[in-house]
Structure 1
């Protein structure tokens, strides 16, 4: 059985380091959990635990019942705040709201997702009632690959928001989106690899 790696098969999961590019992101389905507060807080940690407590049973159900195996995709998150300067200037993480995301293959039916959620609930996953399956339509986006600490993202995002996007005749529309190719619990900050993505539209 061939094991599919979605982050290699979907072009929008590749981003250049050191420069910005404009990409078209297709509609994609995700496991989602909403929350608020700093990423180092307990609510965000519980959301990550719960997302993976569903994602792994879902992978095994797909392999067993659909005869289609895949690599569990990386953690992702959307971030936003009433004052977007909290991302680019003062980095006041207490103001941040977020949605944790994990990509679901397009061949997996919603019924299988419901069963994976039920399995996670039986095992006592926190925040399990908050998990949902939803399609995300981001369309045109600007993105780049950031290598380094999350706390070093501010200047990169400032250049993206204040320089590159306006210079291309674009404006920001959706929520800031990050894709985490590294496990931040096991990777030193200088080696973290993160796609920074911003949905946009023409002015």
Structure 2
């Protein structure tokens, strides 16, 4: 049976609807960066997602090709994730999506080294006849965070974020946004097939202990 990160690491991908504290270890990702409203039709965000998934499936389906990857195990491609921020804003301002800076992510299985990533970029470029230089190998250790499962439309996230902030404060923490520490979302639902009120999104914010 294919390894499913959502099921094996439920503490990171399937948290309850009540906020909780979690420490996220170092993980390697595929990543693509950009800015602007993610809802823009045929915009840079949607183009970046297409590139991420193309590389992700090149790695997953390598088992069927001539180039066999050392340590390969069959797995379910992990869910799309996103880091979001805006210049001059602490946290995020949902009313001004056009100002978003973002990094879109897909987790890589542990057998994917930088060398395997480089091969996957070359292989995908050759197959698709497209430039994939925007896709990065992105090692990242998120560390101490407060997180919660948000159910419903993305525009309703501020209520969940507020509950997370209150919970963290009650536990003796404060939010810790800054370089390398962002508003983080993990998308567990396919927005094309799921009604807005049923969308499941993990929301995660960096925190630090108040001294």
Q: Match for 1:146 among 135, 150, 157?
A: 150
Where in structure 2 are there 5+ consecutive unaligned residues?
Answer: none
Q: CA deviation at 1:170?
A: 1.2
Tell me what 1:95 maps to.
Answer: 99
CA RMSD in angstroms comes to 1.8
Matches within 5 A, 1:8-47: 8-10=7-9, 11-17=11-17, 19-41=18-40, 42-47=43-48
Q: Offset at 1:78?
A: 0.5
Please give the TM-score of this superposition, normalised by the length of structure 1: 0.89
177, 187, 194: which one aligns with 2:201: 194
Query: If each structure's helix is expressed as a fraction of its own residues, which one has the higher value?
Result: 1
Q: Tell me if structure 1 keeps the 8 A contact 2:5–2:78.
A: yes
TM-score by length of 2: 0.86
Aligned counterpart, 1:78: 83
- Cα distance in 1 for partners of 2:110, 2:172 equals 33
What is residue 132 of structure 1 aligned with on the other side?
136
Q: Counterpart in 2 of 1:51?
A: 52
- For the Cα contact (< 8 Å) 1:170–1:201, is it kept in 2? yes
For structure 1, list consecutive stretches of 5 or more residues without a partner in the other structure: none
2:79 touches 2:106 (CA, 8 Å); kept in 1?
A: yes
1:112-191 alignment, distance < 5 Å = 112-122=116-126, 123-125=128-130, 128-161=132-165, 163-173=166-176, 174-191=181-198
Aligned 8 A contact 1:49 1:125 in 2: no
Per the TM alignment, residue 175 of structure 1 is displaced from its structure 2 partner at its CA by 0.3
SS in 1 for 2:189: coil
How many equivalent pairs are there?
197
